[in-house]
Amino acid sequence: MKTKILTFLIFSLIGLLADRASAQFLGDFFSQQAQKKKLMTEQIAAYQLYLGAIKTGYSIAEKGWTTAHGLKNGTFRLHSDYFSSLQQVAPAIKNNPKGRAIDSLYRQICSLFANEKQWQQQQKLLDATETGYLGKVENSLLAKAKLDLEELAQVLTPGRLQLTDAERLARLDKLYEAMKDKYAFAGYFTAKCRKLALQRQRPQKDRAQIKKLYGIQ
């Protein structure tokens, strides 16, 4: 009887210990699983935060690029509008009287040489070398004057040059002074040619009068 009781107590104790061990094992197991789950949850949250930061950074970068691109295009448009405005000619400059005066001076230069050459051809007082020199001076001066006229056309024609109004006025003033100088030289040179011819003409008239006076044929 005592043996049976002892055996029962021993098995009961073993069972109790087994239950405790099993409970402790299961408790540790579930505790470990809970920790793993918590760790995985924290890792997932960290990954989501990291991905969110990347997405936000990409969004910022994309917006920044879009903004920079817009600013670039806006700046380009500003520059384009500015340079386009430089190609326009203000009415006050286009109608400036110096433009017409430059053209008028050029025509007067042409007229001075044309009249002088015609007179010299009629009088025949200059030799071939002198007449040729008169033609060379005329051609050289008119060639330079034509360059001034071409520049004048560029200054006064929209779309030709990129200049501010002040720069166009400065060019206009410069061309006007240059054409005045050419006109002054043309007047001086043709007058010298006429004077030279008249000086030669006087002795011829004197000789003609002497011949007429003395009846010399």
Residues 6+ apart with CB under 8 A from 208: none
Amino acid in the structure at residue 161 = L
- pLDDT, one tens digit per residue, over 11-45 is 454 555 445 544 454 455 445 555 655 655 555 55
* Separation in Å, CA 45 to CA 35, 40, 56: 15, 8, 16
- Which secondary structure element, helix H or strand E, spans residue 111, and what is its range? helix 97-123
For residue range 122-160, list pLDDT tens digits in order.
999 999 999 999 999 999 999 999 999 999 999 999 988
Average pLDDT over residues 110-122: 96
- pLDDT: is 56 or 86 the higher one? 86
pLDDT at 200: 87
Residues 6 or more apart whose CB falls under 8 angstroms from that of 158 comprise 87, 88, 89
In terms of phi and psi (left: phi > 0; alpha: psi -120 to 50; beta: otherwise), the region of 159 is left
Say how far apart CA 56 and CA 49 lie, in whole Å: 10
Torsion of the alpha carbons at 120, 124, 129 and 130, rounded to the nearest 10:
-40
Please choose, from the candidates 170, 171, 180, the residue with its C-alpha nearest in 3D space to the C-alpha of residue 106.
180
What average pLDDT does this structure show over 186-215? 76
- d(Cα 183, Cα 138) in Å, to the nearest integer? 11
In one letter, which amino acid is 113? F
Is a pLDDT exceeding 70 seen at residue 117? yes
CA distance between the termini of the chain: 196
pLDDT at 176 over 60: yes
Determine how many CB atoms are found less than 10 A away from the CB of residue 22: 10
Given this model, what pLDDT does residue 160 score? Answer: 86
Range name among 45-54, 86-95, 103-112, 134-143 with the lowest pLDDT average: 45-54
In the chain, DSSP finds a helix count (H) and a strand count (E) of 5, 0
